[in-house]
Structure 1
Amino acid sequence: MMNSKQLIEIALLAGEIMLTNGAETHRVEDTMVRICSKGKLKLAESFVIPTVIVATVADENNNLVTVSKRIKNRTIDLNKISLVNQFSRDFQTHEYTYEQAIEILNNIKNKKGYSSYLLPFTAALVCCFSTILFGGNLKDAISAFLVGFVTQSILNFMNSRNFSYFISYIIGGATTALVAIITVNLNIGVHLDKIIIGSVMIMTPGVAITNAIRDTIAGDLLSGVARGIEAFLIAVFIATGAGIALSLFR
Structure 2
Amino acid sequence: MEDRDLIFETVSLAGEILLASGAEISRVSDTMERIARAYGNPGLDTFILSNGVLLSTGGGSRSYRARVRHIPLGGGRLDRIDAVNQLSREIELGLHTPAEAHERLEAIRTMPSKPRWQQVLASGIGSGSFGYLFGGTGQDAAAAFLCGLVLYLYFLYLVRGHLSKIAMNISGGALVTLCALILTHLGLGSNLEMVTAGAVVPLLPGVAFTNGIRDIADEDYISGSVRLLDAVLVVACLALGVGAVMAAYTAWGV
What TM-score do the two structures reach when normalised by structure 2? Answer: 0.90
Question: 3-state SS of the aligned residue for 2:90?
Answer: helix
Q: 1:102 matched to which residue of 2?
A: 102
Equivalent position of 2:36 in the other structure: 36
2:78 alignment partner in structure 1: 78
User: Distance in 1 between the 2:94 and 2:39 partners?
Assistant: 13
Match of 2:19 in 1: 19
Letter paired with 1:106 = E
Distance 1:239 1:116, change over 3 A: same
Residues 194-213 of structure 1 correspond to what in structure 2 (within 5 A)?
194-213=194-213
Counterpart position of 1:69: 69
Aligned to 1:181: 181
Q: What's the offset of the Cα at 1:22?
A: 1.4
Superposed CA deviations along residues 13-36 of structure 1, whole A, max 9, x for unmatched, are 111111111110110011111122
The percent identity for this pair of structures is 30
Asked whether the 8 Å contact 1:136–1:191 carries over to 2, the reply is: yes
Residue matched to 1:7 = 7
CA deviations on 1:76-112 (whole Å, 9 max, x unpaired) are 1111101001111222333644442222111111112
Q: Does 1:242 align with 2:242?
A: yes
Summarize deviations over 1:32-63 as a string: whole Å, max 9, x none. 11122234436211111111111111166232
- In the alignment, structure 1 segments of 5+ residues that lack a partner are none
Supply the distance in 2 between the matched residues of 1:52 and 1:194 (Cα, whole angstroms).
39
- Give the aligned partner of residue 154 of structure 1: 154
Distance 2:157 2:32 in 1: 33
Which one is further off, 51-60 or 104-113?
Answer: 51-60
Q: 1:58–1:64: 8 Å Cα contact kept in structure 2? A: yes
CA distance in 2, matches of 1:143, 1:221: 41
1:226 alignment partner AA: V
What code does the residue aligned with 2:203 have?
Answer: M
Question: Partners of 2:92 and 2:162 in 1: how far apart?
Answer: 36
Measure the CA separation in 2 of the matches of 1:24 and 1:162.
28
Judge conservation of contact 2:6–2:99 (CA < 8 Å) in 1. Answer: no
Q: SS of the counterpart of 2:166?
A: helix
Q: In structure 2, what is the Cα distance between the partners aligned to 1:31 and 1:16?
A: 11
Q: Structure 2: how far apart are the matches of 1:148 and 1:173?
A: 11
CA change 1:33–1:115 in 2 (3 A) is: same
Residue 235 of structure 1 deviates from its aligned partner by 0.7
Shift of 1:245: 2.4
CA RMSD, aligned part only?
2.1
- SS of 1:37's equivalent in the other structure is helix
1:2 CA displacement = 5.3
Distance between the aligned counterparts of 1:246 and 1:64, measured in 2?
59
TM-aligned CA distance change 1:101 to 1:169, over 3 Å: same
TM-score, with length taken from structure 1: 0.91
The number of residue pairs the alignment matches comes to: 250
